[in-house]
Structure 1
Amino acid sequence: MGQPPPSERALVAALDPYARLIEIGVGRRPDVARALAERGREVVAIDVEMSEAARDAAARDAAKSPEAAGEGSLRAVTADVTALATDDERAIRNALGPSASESGFDAVYARNLPAELQRPTVALAERLDAACLFTTLGFEEPVVDVRRRATESGTVVYVAR
Structure 2
Amino acid sequence: MSDARRSAVARTLANFRRLCEVGIGRRSAVAATLADGGASVTATDVHDHAVPDGVTFVRDDIVTAADRSDPGDHYRVDCVYALNVPPELHRPLLWVATRVDAACAFTTLGGDPPAVDATPLALADGETLYVARDPDGTLSSRR
Same fold, judged at TM 0.5 (above): yes
Q: Does 1:141 align with 2:87?
A: no
Residue 44 of structure 1 is matched in structure 2 by: 42
Structure with the largest fraction of strand:
2
Q: What amino acid is the match of 1:76?
A: F
The structure richer in helix per residue is: 1
Aligned residue identity for 2:92: P
Larger Rg: 1
Q: Does 1:92 align with 2:72?
A: yes
- After superposition, residues 5-84 of structure 1 pair within 5 angstroms as 5-51=3-49, 55-57=50-52, 61=53, 73-84=54-65
State the distance in 2 between where 1:124 and 1:79 align. Answer: 12
RMSD: 1.4
Q: Hey, what's the Cα distance between the residues in 2 that align with 1:56 and 1:132?
A: 21
- Give unmatched runs, 5+ long, in structure 1: 62-72
SS at match of 2:130: strand
Q: Give the superposition deviation at 1:56.
A: 4.6
- Report sequence identity in percent: 39
Unaligned runs of 5+ residues in structure 2 are 134-143
User: Which letter does structure 1 place at the counterpart of 2:99?
Assistant: R
1:47 offset after TM fit, Å? 0.2
Structure 1: which amino acid aligns with 2:72? I
Secondary structure of 1:112's partner? Answer: strand
Q: Deviations over 1:56-91 (max 9, x none)?
A: 52xxx2xxxxxxxxxxx31011000011112122x6
Q: Does 1:118 align with 2:90?
A: yes
Match of 1:159 among 123, 131, 140: 131
Is the partner of 1:142 in helix, strand or coil? coil
Counterparts of 1:56 and 1:46, CA distance in 2: 10
* 8 Å Cα contact 2:9-2:123 kept in structure 1: no
